[in-house]
Structure 1
């Protein structure tokens, strides 16, 4: 049987259309699958983003809450500090007022104390000066009596030239030439311990004798102006009827030279009473 050529063409056309339909269906399915995947990815992204946003919101809310609490606590602390600072300022003002009052009282007390000290010093000075004056007068009277006794004994034929051991006789007086560094006051007390006093000089002859025997480095003598500046007096209270000052002396250097020492040349020089001299000369009356 012969095949109809038109039939073959029709069959081929049907097959062709079926194949195209299948391809379109497959394309549609693929497109649908892609959209499904895209939608799924979009949904997942949206869900993850929403989750992250929620976490951020919660974190931000917690942070805001914490910051608010910290801010409130800071404000409370600041208010407390301001209140404490105000109290401290008030206390400081009170302390300053009390300090000023204490300073005023202290100044007044110091002024009163200085006045009392000055009065006490004046009283002590007056008492000591009066006592020293009485003692000096008594010693001078005793020495005058001793001199009169010696003169009477000499008139009765007694020989009055006796001096203690290590003392040197000259013109009815005995002299002790001490050695060893001493201040003026130390030399004075040493002479008193030896039953004498620091030497008084009343003549050129006596000065020559002392210059010959005294320490060549310098010796303390019994002249001083401790009570009244420039008014020199002898230890025995006798007047200064003879002097042998070094040229330019006395000069009271540095307002403190109140005691007199004899240089090796025999000349006199006012010196600091607390300085030390290698020599010192004592005298006392001879005995019969």
Structure 2
């Protein structure tokens, strides 16, 4: 009889099973430990973060408080500055108003002073004119008195023909024939310095005498400085004689207001008062 083989069933090894369970347990423990460590780290990190946040909040709160205080202080400073600026603006406006008022007063005072100056100038001019008129009137009166005295002395037989040195006598008057370049006004002053005046001519006899003596174009006292065309003698004696050259006076160019006596003929010609002539004739009364 043939023997049948027996199949023997072997049971799994228990040791491998136990080893796998152990490894799994260890693995679980390790994993749990790692999670515990990780959780602990997370808790610690969260706590540290919370502490840091609290510190930051405290610091931020302090900073915000300080910034608020600074801001309030800045606002207070701004308000004070605005108040000061407003006060300064008021002061500036007040100063500008005072300056404007002062300028107005200065302008009024300036106009007042200008008016006073003009009045004073007019008074001086008027006074000078009155003094000149009075002086001229006095000179004419003195001359008239001297003429009357001379006529009385001549009636009593006195000879009234005495003249200063270098003066020439003719009909109770003395004549000086000046030489040297002079304008009309300069010639007038030169005669006054010699105690005489520029000659005024009142007769043909006097004119003929001057013709014989004056060899150069010479200034005489006739002029129309005050009114154009109205010629008068400087001593304001009447214009009762004339010896104009034909066609004269013509005032050919504006400003021919003074009269010259031509040396060639003795005739008169109106000329510029600032013209330079080499001759001029003075006169004064002779003494007895």
Q: In terms of mean alpha carbon deviation, does 63-72 or 88-97 score higher?
A: 88-97
- 2:272 corresponds, among 265, 269, 274, to 269
Deviations 1:209-247 (A, max 9, x none): 979345xxxx8977474xx66577544333566574531
Matching residue within 247, 256, 260 for 2:252: 247
What's the offset of the Cα at 1:131?
1.0
Q: Hey, what does 1:285 align to over in structure 2? A: 284
Stretches of structure 1 lacking an aligned partner (at least 5 in a row): 252-258, 272-276
Q: Which residue does 2:73 correspond to in 1? A: 73
What pairs with 1:1-288 in structure 2 (closer than 5 Å)?
A: 10=11, 13-88=13-88, 91=91, 95=95, 102=102, 106=106, 109-110=109-110, 112-143=112-143, 149=150, 152=154, 164=166, 173-179=175-181, 184=185, 189=189, 191-197=191-197, 199=198, 202=201, 212-213=216-217, 223=223, 225=225, 234-239=233-238, 244=249, 246-250=251-255, 267-269=270-272, 281=280, 283-285=282-284
Question: For residues 183 and 55 of structure 1, what CA distance do their matches in structure 2 show?
Answer: 113
TM-score, normalising length: structure 2 = 0.60
8 A Cα contact 1:160 1:287, kept in partner: yes
1:119–1:161 CA distance, 2 compared to 1 (3 A): closer
Specify the SS of the correspondent of 1:212.
coil
* Greater helix content: 1
Normalising by structure 1, we get a TM-score of 0.60
User: 3-state DSSP class of the match of 1:236?
Assistant: coil
Query: How far, CA to CA, are the matches of 1:105 and 1:51 in structure 2?
Result: 78
Which residue pairs with 1:274 in the alignment? Answer: none
- In 1, are the aligned partners of 2:200 and 2:220 still within 8 Å (CA)? no
Structure 2 CA distance for aligned equivalents of residues 220 and 76 of structure 1: 94
Task: Give the total of aligned pairs.
Answer: 258
Note closer, same or farther for the CA distance 1:28–1:224 as it changes in structure 2 (3 Å cut): farther
